[in-house]
Amino acid sequence: MSAGERIRAWAEAMVADLNPDALFFEGPGDSDRAIVGIATKGPGLASVVYDEDTLLATIVEGMDGERDPEVDRLTEAREWLEYNTKGAWMGESTPWVMVRMPLHELIDEPD
């Protein structure tokens, strides 16, 4: 079983009782590796949460065979993510994409 499969199994088990209709992203690459947890918004309202940077990396990996050689890989992956994932509202069960705070920059700033 791959890391993505183990992560997906964990997320499916965690969200099963909270929201059996919770959705998972599908796309180029192993998007399951980008799952970082479950967010709850109230009774029956739980969604799978993905890390944006990891999701972008998995999209880049998965697009290798179908990419335009004239376009930067990260730019193409970001466009795919914006249109096909972040732009897709599938109801209350739509997964969330989390953008990490740059804590190392925020904490290490002198006062």
Report the pLDDT averaged over residues 97-109.
81
Asked if 49 and 76 touch (Cβ cutoff 8 Å), the reply is: no
Say if residue 110's pLDDT is above 70: no
- Give the residue carrying structure tokens 């880049």: 60
User: Which residue segment(s) compose the domain that 77 sits in?
Assistant: 3-107
Number of domains in the chain: 1
Give the model confidence (pLDDT) of 78-96 as tens digits: 988 898 888 888 888 899 9
Say if residue 37's pLDDT is above 70: yes
Band the pLDDT of 5: cuts 50, 70, 90.
very high
